[in-house]
């Protein structure tokens, strides 16, 4: 099934100059970027986006990090793109992310793990609406 998923390149990706590398991996997988915009996120949208982890001890640090610079928000489309993007992104915890995945190749800590990808069809729909209206 052709799906659209919400992908976000986090501030460290842009600071480290890795946006091109990551976009290239998305394109090489034959997914299409159907929408994209640079955004500076505020506490309100981040608290919504990360509502499942607001009570975690690392949340204040995550907020600071996510507001430390712009992000590149994107809609990515392709066959099974929701699950497929999660596969090329790799595990959340940087120690668990295997080589060959984006996080496995580039992440050096769990909060600064370069990229967000929706984890289900419902999340993809909600997140695309949240960031693109």
Longest CA–CA span in the chain (Å) reads 38
Q: How many residues bind ligand IDP (CB under 6 A)?
A: 10
Does residue number 35 form part of the binding site for ligand IDP (CB under 6 A)?
A: no
Annotation marks residue 116 as catalytic: yes
Using the rule CB under 6 A, is 80 a contact of ligand IDP? no
Q: Is residue 122 within 8 Å of 4, Cβ to Cβ?
A: no
Query: Which residues have a Cβ under 8 Å from the Cβ of 10 and sit 6 or more positions away?
Result: 65, 66, 71, 112, 113, 114, 115, 116
Among residues 58, 60, 68, 98, the one that binds ligand IDP under rule CB under 6 A = 58
Residue 26 or residue 62: which is nearer to ligand IDP going by CB? 62
Alpha helices in 41-80 (DSSP H): 43-49, 59-66
* Binding-site member from 87, 92, 98, 108 for ligand IDP (CB under 6 A): 92
> Residue 10 gets which letter from DSSP?
-
What does the alpha-carbon distance between residue 25 and residue 47 come to, in Å, rounded to a whole number?
A: 29
**Which of Mg ion, ligand IDP, none does residue 108 bind (CB under 5 to 8 Å by kind)?**
none
Binding site for Mg ion (CB under 5 A): 119
Residues carrying an active site annotation:
116
Binding site for ligand IDP (CB under 6 A): 50, 53, 58, 62, 92, 110-111, 113, 116, 119
């Amino acid at each position: 099934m052709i799906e659209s998923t919400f992908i976000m390149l986090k501030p460290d990706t842009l600071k480290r100059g890795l946006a091109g590398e990551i976009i290239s991996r998305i394109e090489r997988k034959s997914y299409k970027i159907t929408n994209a915009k640079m955004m500076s996120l505020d506490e309100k949208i981040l608290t919504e986006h990360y509502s499942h982890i607001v009570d975690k001890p690392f949340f204040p640090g995550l907020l600071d990090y996510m507001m430390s610079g712009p992000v590149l928000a994107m809609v990515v489309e392709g066959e099974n793109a929701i699950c497929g993007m999660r596969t090329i992104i790799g595990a959340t915890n940087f120690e668990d992310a295997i080589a060959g995945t984006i996080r496995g190749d580039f992440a050096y800590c769990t909060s600064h793990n370069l990229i967000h990808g929706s984890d289900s069809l419902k999340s993809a729909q909600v997140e695309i609406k949240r960031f693109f209206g």
